[in-house]
Structure 1
Amino acid sequence: MNELSTPPAASEAKITAGKLGTFNGVFTPSILTILGIILFLRLGYVVGNAGLGKALLIIALANLISVLTSISLSAVATNLKVKGGGDYYLISRTLGPEFGGSIGLVLFLAQSVSIAFYCMGFAEVIGTFFPWMHHLTIQLIASGAVVFLFFFAWQGADWAARFQFGVMALLAAALLSFFAGTIRSWDAAILAANWASPENGVPFWALFAIFFPAVTGFTQGVSMSGDLADPGKSIPLGTFWAVGLSIAVYFSVAILFAGVLSNATLSSDSGAMKNVSAVGFLIDAGVIAATLSSAMASLMGAPRILQSLAADKIFSLLTPFAKVNGPAANPRRALLFSSGIAFVTIALGKLNLVASVVSMFFLISYGLLNYATYFEAKTESPFFRPRFKWFSPSLSLLGFFLCLAAMLAIDLKSGAAAIALLFAVYQYLKRTAGPTRWADSSRSHHLQQVRRHLLAAGKEPEHARDWRPHLLVFTQTPEHRIPLLTFSSWIEGGSGFTEAVQIIEGEGAEARAMHKAAHLALTQAIASGHYDMFPLTVSSSNFTQAMGVLLQSSGIGPLRPNTVVLNWMGASVKALSGLGAYTYAKNLKLIFRQHKNLVILSMDDESWIRLLDEPMAGRRIDIWWQGNGTSRLMLLLAYLMTRHKPWDQATLRVLTQSDTLHIEREKEKLNKIMEDVRIDAVAEIIENFEADTIVQQSADAAFVFLPLKIDQYRLLDLTGKSFERSLPRLPVCALVMAAEDIDLDATPEEGLPAQIGRATDELELALKKSAAAEKIAAEKMMLVEKLSSQLSILEEKSVPEKVPPKEGEKLQREIANAESDAEKAHRRAIKAKFKADEAARNIDNLEPELQSKIEPPE
């Protein structure tokens, strides 16, 4: 009885207090909606125009969608505890509130309009008995039908189920009457004649569009999920029984139609079923029962979707409809609203304008239900454990595409209108929806994508063109945390990853309490600034040891920090260690030895405020250039800063020194470098790198990048002297020291993969040359053996002193030449083999390095 405007858990508790079973809660509403007006008034028309062969194909294709969707429905329904809301609940808990809210709203409207649609169909059937009735009278009858059905729905699901039992009895009697009449009139010759489609029949897809609404009722039982005692068991079982029985009915009725009446009769007489039935008036009763049962199913389903939407607080205007009444949690407010929409629709009387769009909404919901199941399965979450075992993600994906195909086949314009409305609601919810009140599958999807892409990236060799700033930011001083996080987000440039770290020194309960408070503060700082980074708080008895472990272990696979960002010790002597300047410098050397780039932010409160207050237009970033790896890193970080709005109008200026005789040449050289690396920057040549020169040139800059050197445990500027001479007089600065040489103009053909490719080509060529040389050497040796054999035979056949001297001398010369050629060929073969072995060794030497790039050592 209470308003469900408080916790969703309370709402769900009420909604799940259902008493209906599989038969009366799922099977009955589903089968009554499926066996509707299409069965009684349009199936004969489809068979007559298509011929029995194509008619059976139409029935099979339409039911294939219902079977595939039923499989998806069963998988999702047996994977979680289904609460009220039916399709809306299943889709929203899988694809999130935006998809769920949009499909829930349009399904509610579709089912509310369907109430009017079916009641108008009922009134028109009544009108055939009284041809003199006025159109207004038809609308009054339809309104009366809504009132009649409303009475049962107001009492609750139990009363509605009792009404449906009576409707089912009429439907069963009508079908029995039809079967009895057609079996005794069966003629195999008529069946054979009706197999092929007539010459002037209606096109296949037009007939498919006429028939398809017949199978769009199998999810009616899902809409009653909140009234079911065991939704996980009842939904799949009841749905499959309803779909299976309806398939049998439609196939058998189509075959019986084709065996008793000609195609011409079937296509022209909408009352053919009544004419061949044993008791004709039972067919009229069946038509009336079919329209009323479909209207009743929609009248029960629509309010429950609305109530579930309201309880989830997706649309604030719908909150009053979260209220339920009685122990069965009957949503009477939502029922009143649904009935009101039905009355308005009847009053307008333009049902044909919305009928096709309504069908599209149902098709979209089936498609999204299939996609939601596929989406959930492909996350490969350990929590996707459906009890329904005959499930396959491929079948769900096939069901999704078949639903889209059916929409195109039925009515392209109506489908586009339905999708446009759905997309508009989705975009609205994406901008206005508050915090999600449940866990959907989107995060599991992202995690699975991360896993898949990380594994794929880990199998590819690292290349200079792949370099991105992966930052490890030490935020030891809370008072300077925000500037450091802001600066880190600038130089990350939306291309890398940032991990904000705080190390808590201590042990025991006190350290654990400090750890919890520090992590909360760090998380809040990141959230308040909307920084794209991850918080990490570490407790340790020794700061330096903890930092060393972090440097080696942070990251996963190819995503490991390559750059450490921290505050300048002038901002606070506790910027990195708590032990003063010596330990600060010592820790910087430790970072550098771990092959991490160093970026140190130098600022004070005054310079930072001045930077933030400076107009975005006209800002300038100065980079002090020495032509080494540090210079290239500073240039790249400055460029990445310009990707952010505060800096997208900034000018980059690169300053380097040269004597007065070579200023133009150095400037031209520097401009050529900027052109080659494709970064717009202004080149400036100065006489020296002295502190006064740096201050004079960069005092009016918005931001300055300066190279850093570490000598022993001293931090030095470009001239090898202390920064204390320049930093206090400069704006906000970044001191940079590169541990790697970043190639800003790397080509795809460079790097280890290219080296191995070239080495492989060289090996292949060397092997070919070696094989060819060995073949030639073997041929030369065979020639020597052949000539030697000829000389031996000649000597054996003749007395030695009577051997013709010219012939013997000729053979001996040929043997000598052949032996010389064979020796040369053998030497060439050995040389070629050596080159092939050397090429193979080159590859062997490169592959460990390549493997180390693919799989970084722990």
Structure 2
Amino acid sequence: LTSPRKSIPLGTISAVIITALIYVSLIFVVSLIATPEEMTANYNLFIEKALYGPLVIAGLLGATLSSALGSFIGAPRIMLALAEKGLLPKSPKLAKLSTKGEPINAMYFTAIVVFIGISLRNLNTIAPILTMFFMITYAMINIVVLLEQSLGLPSYRPTLKVPLLVPALGAFGSIAIMFVINVIVALFSLIFIFVFYFYLVKLNLKSEVGDSRSGLFTALAEWATKKSSNLSPEKEVRSWRPNLLIPMQMPKEIRSAYKLIHSIVYPKGSVKILSLINENVQEQRNNEQFLKNAIKKYKEGYISASYAFVDGSEFNTSVKISMQSLNAAFFKPNVIFVSIDSANVQNAFYDQLRSDAEKNDFGVLMYIPFSTASLAIEKNITLWLTDITADWKETFNIGNNDLGTLLALLICKNWKGTIEAHIVNNDPGLSFSENDIEDFSTMVRFPKNTTINIMEGDLLENTKKYRSTDISIFSANNDMKTADMINLVQTSRISAVFCIDSQSENVLV
């Protein structure tokens, strides 16, 4: 073809129009030469009514043989292409070529399938099955065109433009015709397609030319983001999930907290690691390699993860600017996570980080492992709740306890563990009856095996009584500084996470 871009669309449309005219003409012809009863009962109608029957038989044989030959040439090569990409079971064997470059094993497999079909000796049995996959192909082409045309992607610039109604009717019509032909076969065909798709997804195949789904999903996400922003500029608290921003000063901060971070964000959260560019070239290379390996490890655990380096002389300022910049994004981290080494702590840094996070509406998780403890058992979680407001039932507000409670629920689910909740109540105007405790448990939707205790007095003194746990979760009030948190961990001898709410969490809704 001298101009494929023009010739192919023209040839395709011409073929469709000519074929449609022939089929419509045949409908009128057969209506003139036979009754409806003859058309449904006699498959040899055209042969018997023709002026010269053998000519019709020759035409049928020629059309059938040419279609069969075309399919037999094309099918093994399609199977070869699939096998070369590793998409089929026993792909190496199916991708084997003969000395002449022919896909010999794929041809044998195709021949076997053909002979099985012929042995059925009933076209009405085979035809619906073959038709289903053609109709699924037509439907998917129309659906893709409909989506791309609806999204208005600049990359979608077809030389043959059609109204939006055309792919919509094409997709609906293809699926409808499948069920008109045979409902059972249509259902099994769709199930087979979905099963095969998820099989391919599980293979986690990588293409050198990219994945078209990525761009389509991105466009759909952008469309959904715009719609969501128009409906509600502020994020709904019910849609909250843990998206962590982790300022990293030293790689050991990530190493020591890896299992805890995974337990917090799995399966729907995300991790973004922020590190300061090191002026030492070798140290910078080491940090880059470490972060690449860490991100790879998170992604292997099916967690969305990424990292970035920022340039600056002072890490607090760099983190603050990063938070301010991220506030303009729709999909942004919502919680700052830090792992604090109590043996080499920088109290001023963490106190300032906490202050900056609160100003920028970020929640804060401050993990302080006890020196000789670890998270190896991963079973028991102790949740400490303080300063619950007296009107919590009416206002659905439990103070600075939402993030800590959500964290306990997430960890409990991933650990398949148990929660022991302690409410430290020193407010004379607030009391907890048995009904109040039951209402609190119901509204939070704690797991069934959760125990809730009410106590009074100093938080530090109470923690000394409960040391048989794997991790403690505290809600840090405004008076609690980093030094106080470290002292609490050292006294209780239990690793702990201290939580500061933002305005994006509410465990009661």
Q: TM-score range by the shorter chain?
A: 0.7 to 0.9
Q: Are the structure 2 counterparts of residues 364 and 231 from structure 1 closer, same or farther at C-alpha, using a change threshold of 3 Å?
A: farther
1:293 matches 2:66: yes
Is the 1:599–1:735 Cα contact (8 Å) retained in structure 2? yes
| Residue from 401, 411, 422 that aligns with 1:641 | 411
Q: Are the structure 2 counterparts of residues 285 and 636 from structure 1 closer, same or farther at C-alpha, using a change threshold of 3 Å?
A: closer
Match of 1:389 in 2: 160
Q: Are the structure 2 counterparts of residues 464 and 293 from structure 1 closer, same or farther at C-alpha, using a change threshold of 3 Å?
A: closer
1:626 matches 2:387: yes
Q: Are the structure 2 counterparts of residues 281 and 431 from structure 1 closer, same or farther at C-alpha, using a change threshold of 3 Å?
A: same
Q: Are the structure 2 counterparts of residues 376 and 291 from structure 1 closer, same or farther at C-alpha, using a change threshold of 3 Å?
A: same
How far apart in 2 are the matches of 1:742 and 1:428?
37
Is the 2:248–2:273 Cα contact (8 Å) retained in structure 1? yes
Give me the TM-score of the superposition, normalised by structure 2: 0.81
How far apart in 2 are the matches of 1:449 and 1:326?
47
Report how many aligned residue pairs link the two structures. 494
Could you list the per-position Cα deviations for residues 86-112 of structure 1 after superposition, in whole angstroms to 9, with x for gaps in the alignment?
xxxxxxxxxxxxxxxxxxxxxxxxxxx
Match of 2:359 in 1: 593
Q: Are the structure 2 counterparts of residues 323 and 730 from structure 1 closer, same or farther at C-alpha, using a change threshold of 3 Å?
A: same
Aligned ranges 1:282-681 → 2 under 5 Å:
282-323=55-96, 330-347=102-119, 349=121, 352-378=124-150, 380-386=152-158, 388-432=159-203, 434-435=205-206, 439-459=210-230, 460-462=232-234, 465-466=237-238, 468=240, 469-492=242-265, 497-506=269-278, 513=285, 516-554=288-326, 556-570=328-342, 572-573=344-345, 580-604=346-370, 606-608=372-374, 611-614=375-378, 616=379, 619-627=380-388, 629-642=399-412, 644-646=413-415, 648-658=416-426, 665=431, 671=437, 674-675=440-441, 677-680=443-446
Q: Which runs of 5+ in 1 are unaligned?
A: 1-20, 23-229, 574-579, 747-858
Is the 1:311–1:319 Cα contact (8 Å) retained in structure 2? yes
Q: Tell me how far 1:550 sits from its aligned partner.
A: 0.9
Q: Tell me how far 1:600 sits from its aligned partner.
A: 0.4
Alignment-mate amino acid for residue 382 of structure 2: I
Is the 1:667–1:684 Cα contact (8 Å) retained in structure 2? no
- Structure 2 counterpart SS, 1:535: strand
Match of 2:467 in 1: 699
Match of 2:458 in 1: 689
Q: Are the structure 2 counterparts of residues 554 and 292 from structure 1 closer, same or farther at C-alpha, using a change threshold of 3 Å?
A: same
Is the 1:499–1:536 Cα contact (8 Å) retained in structure 2? no
| Residue from 478, 489, 496 that aligns with 1:733 | 496
| Residue from 9, 12, 28 that aligns with 1:255 | 28
- Structure 1 counterpart SS, 2:311: strand
Q: Tell me how far 1:569 sits from its aligned partner.
A: 4.2
- Structure 2 counterpart SS, 1:310: helix
How far apart in 1 are the matches of 2:73 and 2:298?
47
Could you list the per-position Cα deviations for residues 785-808 of structure 1 after superposition, in whole angstroms to 9, with x for gaps in the alignment?
xxxxxxxxxxxxxxxxxxxxxxxx
Match of 1:715 in 2: 482
Q: Which runs of 5+ in 2 are unaligned?
A: 390-398
Alignment-mate amino acid for residue 377 of structure 2: D
How far apart in 2 are the matches of 1:264 and 1:581?
91
Q: Tell me how far 1:566 sits from its aligned partner.
A: 0.5
Could you list the per-position Cα deviations for residues 458-478 of structure 1 after superposition, in whole angstroms to 9, with x for gaps in the alignment?
221537744724432223332
Alignment-mate amino acid for residue 623 of structure 1: W
Q: Tell me how far 1:733 sits from its aligned partner.
A: 0.3
Identical aligned pairs, as a percentage?
A: 20
Aligned ranges 1:161-176 → 2 under 5 Å:
none
How far apart in 2 are the matches of 1:670 and 1:262?
82
Larger Rg: 1 or 2? 1
Alignment-mate amino acid for residue 21 of structure 2: A
Alignment-mate amino acid for residue 215 of structure 2: S
CA-based RMSD of the aligned residues comes to: 3.9
Match of 1:764 in 2: none
Is the 1:658–1:685 Cα contact (8 Å) retained in structure 2? no
Q: Are the structure 2 counterparts of residues 685 and 435 from structure 1 closer, same or farther at C-alpha, using a change threshold of 3 Å?
A: same
Could you list the per-position Cα deviations for residues 172-207 of structure 1 after superposition, in whole angstroms to 9, with x for gaps in the alignment?
xxxxxxxxxxxxxxxxxxxxxxxxxxxxxxxxxxxx
Higher helix content, 1 or 2: 1
Q: Tell me how far 1:710 sits from its aligned partner.
A: 6.3
Higher strand content, 1 or 2: 2
Is the 1:523–1:535 Cα contact (8 Å) retained in structure 2? yes
Q: Tell me how far 1:668 sits from its aligned partner.
A: 5.3
Match of 2:17 in 1: 244
Match of 2:395 in 1: none
Q: Are the structure 2 counterparts of residues 733 and 264 from structure 1 closer, same or farther at C-alpha, using a change threshold of 3 Å?
A: closer
Q: Tell me how far 1:728 sits from its aligned partner.
A: 5.3
How far apart in 2 are the matches of 1:652 and 1:591?
29
Is the 1:653–1:684 Cα contact (8 Å) retained in structure 2? yes
Q: Tell me how far 1:292 sits from its aligned partner.
A: 1.8
Match of 1:52 in 2: none
Identify the structure with bigger relative contact order (alpha carbons < 8 Å, sequence gap 6+).
Answer: 1
Match of 1:180 in 2: none
- Structure 2 counterpart SS, 1:250: helix
Q: Tell me how far 1:415 sits from its aligned partner.
A: 2.4
How far apart in 2 are the matches of 1:637 and 1:367?
44
Q: Are the structure 2 counterparts of residues 419 and 279 from structure 1 closer, same or farther at C-alpha, using a change threshold of 3 Å?
A: same
